[in-house]
C-alpha cells in the first residue's frame, strides 16, 4: 500500500514538472500591441457556402480567442463555446450548431504563422497567437477530410 502511495505521488510530481517544462517549450511567442485581423465565418454544410460573417477587427489581444470575444462584444455575431478541458470549443456561431453527428466548427488560416508552419491550425483558439493581417476562416463542416 505504501509503495502504491509513493508511486502515485511520484507520478503526480512527474505530471507537475512535465507540464511546466512542456508548456514552456511549446509556448508560442505572441505579438503585443494593436493588430488588425480579418475573420470570416462560413457554413459549409450546404452545397453553397453560406457566409455568416466577414469583417476585420483591430485588437490588442494576443490570442485568437480574445479577438473573437471582442467581436462578440461588438455584436458582430454571437458565439457559444464550452470549455472542454482542451481549451474553449466552439459550439455555435449565430446559434448555428453542427447539425447531427460529425459536424463541427473548425478554423483555418492561410497566413497565420503557426497555421502555415504546421500545415493546419494545430492550437485551439485560446492558445493560437495572432499577428497583424492574419486572416481566419471559421467553418462548419462535417469534417470528413480528416
Q: Give contact residues for other proteins (rule: CB under 8 A).
A: 4, 7-8, 11-12, 14-15, 18-19, 22-23, 26, 84-86, 101-102, 117-120, 122-123, 142-144, 146
Closest to other proteins by CB, 19 or 58? 19
Q: How far is the CB of 3 from other proteins (least distance, A)?
A: 8
Query: 21: Cβ–Cβ under 8 A, 6 or more apart, which residues?
Result: none
Closer residue to other proteins (CB): 78 or 84: 84
What's the closest the beta carbon of residue 11 comes to other proteins, in angstroms?
5
- Burial class of residue 57 (count of CB atoms within 10 Å of its CB; 0-12, 13-18, 19+): middle
CB of 118 to other proteins, least distance (A): 3
Only one residue has cell 508511486, namely: 7
Find the shortest distance in angstroms from Cβ 92 to other proteins: 17
Specify whether the CB–CB gap between 133 and 37 falls below 8 A: yes
How far is residue 89's CA from residue 83's CA, in Å, rounded to a whole number?
6
| CB-CB contact of 129 with 62 (8 Å) | yes
Select 22 or 51, whichever has its Cβ closest to other proteins. Answer: 22
Nearer to other proteins, 12 or 51 (CB): 12
Q: Is 90 helix (H, G, I), strand (E, B) or coil?
A: strand
Amino acid at each position: 500500500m505504501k509503495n502504491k502511495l509513493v508511486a502515485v505521488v511520484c507520478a503526480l510530481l512527474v505530471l507537475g514538472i512535465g507540464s511546466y517544462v512542456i508548456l514552456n517549450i511549446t509556448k508560442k511567442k505572441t505579438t503585443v500591441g494593436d493588430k488588425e485581423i480579418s475573420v470570416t465565418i462560413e457554413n459549409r454544410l450546404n452545397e453553397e457556402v453560406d457566409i455568416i460573417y466577414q469583417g476585420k477587427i483591430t485588437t490588442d489581444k494576443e490570442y485568437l480567442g480574445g479577438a473573437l470575444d471582442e467581436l462578440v462584444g461588438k455584436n458582430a455575431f454571437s458565439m457559444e463555446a464550452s470549455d472542454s478541458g482542451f481549451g474553449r470549443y466552439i459550439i455555435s456561431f449565430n446559434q448555428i450548431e453542427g447539425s447531427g453527428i460529425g459536424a463541427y466548427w473548425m478554423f483555418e488560416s492561410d497566413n497565420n504563422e503557426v497555421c502555415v508552419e504546421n500545415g493546419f491550425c494545430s492550437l485551439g483558439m485560446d492558445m493560437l497567437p495572432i499577428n497583424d493581417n492574419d486572416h481566419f476562416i471559421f467553418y462548419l463542416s462535417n469534417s470528413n477530410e480528416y
